[in-house]
Amino acid sequence: MKKIDRYITVNFVKSIVLSLFGFINIFILSQLFKVIRYVTEGRFGGVDAIYYIISLLPDIIIKVMPLAVLLGGLMTINKMASSLEIIALKTSGISFKRIIAFPIMIAFIISLGVYYMNDKIYPASIKKSREIKRGGYEDIKLPESKKKAFLRGKDNYVYYAESINRISSTSVNIEILELDSEFEKLTKIITAEKGTYDRENKLWKFENVTVNNLEKNSSYTLPVMQDVRYDEEPERFLAPSVNPKLLTIKEMRSTLGAIKQTGGNSREILMELGDRTAFSFASFVVSFLGLSLGSRYVRGASAVSVAMSVGLGYSYYIVQASMEAISMGGVLHPFIGAWIPNLLFLVLGIYAMYKAEY
């Protein structure tokens, strides 16, 4: 790494950290008044309020990181352009593409970090924040029954029931999909015409059962089957059982495979999987725009560049939300819809980068 690369990279990282800190503060302030109201109403304790705000940080960081990278790139290059450093470097024969090479690599590394946070940290933080909020609210009344009910069990298996009733403690047309320890390979499929939950023994009793062992390539039937593993209460099926936001990317892919096996609706999980993957690399995509917009020094144009940068940043979110709505409506495949904003803004960023060569 040459001195000029180190100089640009350090300034780029500093600008990102400064922008990120500012955006995080804005989002925390927007939540702070709500938290204070919860505390004064007795819904939260003081410690719970602190934990709740901390649990929101991963989600906030993920959401504002593209804006921070976009604005950080603009601030870095604009500062260099205003002090005529960009012109000096170009005069010495260094192309603009070479000037921004290391910041682009830094933006890609940041995107990898966001991907890791989106996969490993985000689901746990969302779960924690919801647990804290749920502890302060009245219990939600569950419906009496539900059709097409899914539930992931405590071990490596997933339930599907055509219908389930918590009052009669019965279910109809049940499928249990067992997977291996890595939750990647389907090992057994158990189907039953009817299930009755024994509340005294906390155990399901299945009738007219067929067991397909995919590992041994064998199949057999049973008039009645009970297993201590299958002890989930009917009420658990009626709550949102497979919430994609609480799953890692690996778990979403495994659950997606299980849902497809039973013919269930996988669009919500596909949408979350696409968003979680595509948005992670939004920082890399918008870095081209941020670094290119400030390349030309025009007196008094800094404020215009900042406004344009923020406007383009929010445009990304608008396009993303629009594609999500279109995908959920069935017009586009959810995964393709999630990546369209990245492709559009990457093309725009590369175009801006080539226009910056003068």
CB 150 within 8 A of CB 264: yes
The average pLDDT across 55-69 equals 93
pLDDT digits (tens, 9 = 90+) for 317-352: 999 989 988 887 778 888 889 999 999 999 999 988
Would you say 183 and 169 are in contact if contact means Cβ atoms under 8 Å apart? no
pLDDT band at 299 (very low <50, low <70, confident <90, very high): very low
Q: Which amino acid is at 129?
A: S
Closest CA to 172 of 143, 203, 147: 147
Pairing of the two strands 157-165 and 203-213: unpaired
Look at residue 57 and tell me whether its pLDDT is greater than 60: yes
Least confident of 81-95, 220-234, 241-255: 241-255
Confidence at residue 263, expressed as pLDDT on a 0 to 100 scale: 52
d(CA 185, CA 305): 51
Region 57-67: mean pLDDT is 93
Q: Enter the pTM of the model.
A: 0.71
Worst-scoring range by mean pLDDT, 140-144, 150-154, 219-223, 337-341? 140-144
* Whether 103 contacts 79, CB under 8 Å: no
- Sorting pLDDT into bands at 50, 70 and 90, what band is 280? very high
3-state SS string for the chain: CCHHHHHHHHHHHHHHHHHHHHHHHHHHHHHHHHHHHHHHCCCCCHHHHHHHHHHHHHHHHHHHHHHHHHHHHHHHHHHHHHCCHHHHHHHCCCCHHHHCHHHHHHHHHHHHHHHHHHHHHHHHHHHHHHHHHHCCCCCCCCCCEEEEEEEECCCCEEEEEEEEECCCCEEEEEEEEEECCCCCCEEEEEEEEEEEEECCCCEEEEEEEEEEECCCCEEEEEEEEECCCCCCCHHHHHCCCCCHHHCCHHHHHHHHHHHHHHCCCCHHHHHHHHHHHHHHCHHHHHHHHHHHHCCCCCCCCHHHHHHHHHHHHHHHHHHHHHHHHHHHCCCCCHHHHHHHHHHHHHHHHHHHHHHCCC
Average pLDDT of the segment spanning 89-96: 85
